[in-house]
Amino acid sequence: LKSCLSSSGSIFNRSKSSVNGFGNSAASQTNRKNEEFNLVRRVSFSHRRVREYEVTLGDNPSVSSGAPLSLGWRYNPQENISSLDCHNETSESPSSSCPRIRRSMSELKISDQERHHRLRIDPNVSMEDIFDVLQSTEAARLERKESLTELKMEVLKRRQDML
């Protein structure tokens, strides 16, 4: 990631407050440390460089259903470079030349059917691999569920012991 880092004047403002030795000394020391120096830094970027990686079979048992996806090590060497001029604008008004678009969590989720389809078209992933991962993620989910149940039981037992 190439960037234009501009530290526009690391400005130190020395606090004018003084401690006269009276009152709460711990609070005075904390206030003095907090107010002694105020550092102002600014960073800006001129462009972004996006590298696309392969998507492959993952191992995260937190997936809601189906096989998990993960990023692989291989990537497309042709990077997408774009200017960030409009992304540095602070205005979020509709008249802005570069409107900001945020996707919701539901728009970011990939259905289990879509994940399965992506894995099936990957020549490096076999049906056996998918089956093995489905079994291991299900086993991990069951272990997590058992652990949570045991934890809840332990908490209930502690509460009963306190009574």
Which pLDDT tens digit goes with each residue over 135-145? 999 999 999 99
Closest CA to 132 of 68, 80, 77: 68
What pLDDT score was predicted for residue 108?
87
**Nearest-angstrom CA–CA distance, 33 and 71:** 44
Confidence of residue 99 (pLDDT cuts 50, 70, 90): low
Instruction: Give kind and range of the element (H or E) at residue 128.
Output: helix 127-162
Report whether pLDDT(13) > 90: no
pLDDT digits (tens, 9 = 90+) for 31-63: 656 555 667 788 888 888 899 999 899 988 888
Average confidence (pLDDT) over 71-79: 91
> Is 79 strand, coil or helix?
coil
Q: What Rg, from alpha-carbon coordinates, does the chain have? A: 27
Between residues 30 and 80, the one the model is more confident about: 80
The beta strand positions in the chain, using DSSP E, are 11-14, 37-40, 47-50, 53-57, 69-75, 80-83
What is the value of pTM for the model shown?
A: 0.53
